[in-house]
Homo-oligomer: A and B are copies of this chain.
Amino acid sequence: MKRFVAFLAMTAALTTAAQDKPFAIAIHGGSGTITRTTLSPEREAAYRTVLTEALEAGRKVLAANGTSLDAVVAAVKIMEDSPLFNAGKGAVFTHEGTNEMDASIMDGNGRRAGAVAGVTVVKNPIEAARAVMDKSRHVMMAGKGAELFAKDQGLAIVDPKYFWTQERWDQLQKAKERDRIQLDHDAPRKTSEVAENEKLGAVGAVAEDEKFGTVGAVALDKAGNLAAATSTGGLTNKRFGRVGDSPIVGAGTWAENESVAVSATGTGEMFIRGVAAYDIAARVKYKGASPQQAADDALVTVKSLGGRGGVIVLDRTGHAVFSFTTEGMYRGVAKGEAKPEVLIYR
């Protein structure tokens, strides 16, 4: 009986110790021209519901002593499965009318990483990125090869029609029409090279609301390990197998226990050229900057390159910071047992 009481006491002590450990998850669902004027109350409510679900899913994993990796995957999957975000189910269309998705994940414990680029039939691209990290010797796989690997790993494969949504289809038609008008309009006063560039990139002609919508999550588990994950459908009307920052370790995603976990969203090209996610970690490690200062400064660099967007950053104490250079960013944070907080506007 004495021993049993001692056992109970020990269990209670351990439980308390585990409960004392901080844990947290922060998420984003993309940044852009999101204001109270542009977003209807119904649509805002819909976003808030899914963001809260994603936070709760991640927190549930962490509260039950799960890993930060499992938590970021759980949160990102919920956003991938929603048509509201530009990832998974709600991925935007390429110029050819297909959906090509990118995702990456990183484990702060040992800096393991996995990424896929240009996958078209994987229901949850973040799970494919996780499989690349856990089940292969590689970090990044692209195109058909990545899909073959995902299939071999038994992940959910869907008919490409799964990713068809009316809203994204309409966005593609609008983007194509805008390109046509802009090219016609600009042709007389532009060199053929400039006109050609715009035809190729089609970025100049893309409206803000079609640029963003990438989703991501960062988490800290009770064992003290950080993780980060990012998933996207890329740019509406994109061509030429364009790869943005989301599947690039260091640009769109970063996690190391020695500094911070980061997930980014925005104009991918400038986030790559700014190595935005790792730049935040480097400023923390090498300059002693605070996560907030590091995030703000990294976005100043991205801005100087002509890019806009946002980042979520989590440190090992469970402190989450947000930074964005757009009007709004779908975002949220859940720390320990506290009520999850969801924010949209500046």
Contacts and interface: CB of A to CB of B under 8 A. Distances in A.
A118 interface: yes
A108 B137 CA distance: 32
A141 B286 CA distance: 32
A149 B199 CA distance: 12
A136 B198 CA distance: 8
Contacts of A111: 273-274, 305
Nearest to A284: B286
A300 interface: no
Interface residues of A: mostly helix, strand, loop or mixed? mixed
Size bracket, chain A contacts? 35 or more
Interface string A146-166: 101100100000000000000
A44 to B, nearest CB: 31
Given A240-B141, A283-B286, A286-B283, A136 B250 contact: no
Given A248-B248, A250-B250, A286-B283, A241 B146 contact: yes
A283 B287 CA distance: 9
A201 B142 CA distance: 14
Interface string A245-271: 000111100100000000000001100
Contacts of A144: 241
Interface in A157-197: 193, 196-197
Contacts of A204: 137
Contacts of A242: 138, 140-141, 145
Interface in A92-117: 110-113, 117
A24 interface: no
A136 B279 contact: no
A269 to B, nearest CB: 5
A319 B33 CA distance: 45
Given A111-B305, A283-B286, A286-B287, A142 B143 contact: yes
Contacts of A145: 239-242
Contacts of A149: 200, 239-240
7 contacts: A111-B273, A112-B273, A141-B242, A152-B200, A250-B278, A278-B278, A279-B282
Interface of A: 110-113, 117-118, 135-146, 148-149, 152, 193, 196-198, 200-204, 239-244, 248-251, 254, 268-269, 272-275, 278-279, 282-283, 286-287, 305
